[in-house]
Amino acid sequence: METSQDIKETLFSASQDLLKAQIKDIQKQLIDLQESSESEEKSSAGDKYETHQEMLNQSRNMLHQALEKNKLMLAQLNAISTKKMDKVEEGALVKLNIGTLWVSIALGQISLDGTTYHLVSKDSPLISTILGLKEKETYTFKGRTGEVMEVK
């Protein structure tokens, strides 16, 4: 059976791989966009050219924002500990009645060996509610009471 540290390290590695792939994809899109911009020649219909250039600029800005966000998330991920925790804090693997969470970065879900892990930021509303709680302690979130079943 895998230890909590093994699970965290696998989640860490899978998250890193996912973010690096997203960064690489965004960088490729930026290169493609640059090539498209350079190959576009100004036609006699100047408005059409200007509109096309503006659309390229907007796309470029969106891609740059996404790239910076992913780089920031990767840096945040790299700062997270995979050691065993005894309370809900950044780096903790937390089992609730609604699922298993890894308090790390807001990256969504990753499935390992038939178990789905939800990667959530310590700043998420749910984590803010349960931050500092230990196993068997209860919490109320959005009018519902729950229990921290396990913290690793």
Distances (CA, A) of 144 to 24, 85, 98, 100: 41, 25, 11, 17
* CB atoms inside a 10 Å sphere around CB 131: 17
Token digits for 122? 């310590």
pLDDT at 44: 46
Question: Which pTM value belongs to this model?
Answer: 0.87
Query: What pLDDT sits at residue 46?
Result: 64
The 10s digit of each residue's pLDDT in 30-69 is 999 988 777 765 554 567 778 878 888 999 999 999 999 9
Query: Which residues are bridge partners to 104 per DSSP?
Result: 121
Give the Cα separation of 30 and 46 in Å (integer). Answer: 24
| pLDDT averaged over 10-residue windows placed end to end, the chain, 152 residues | 86 96 97 82 63 88 97 97 95 96 96 94 97 97 96 96
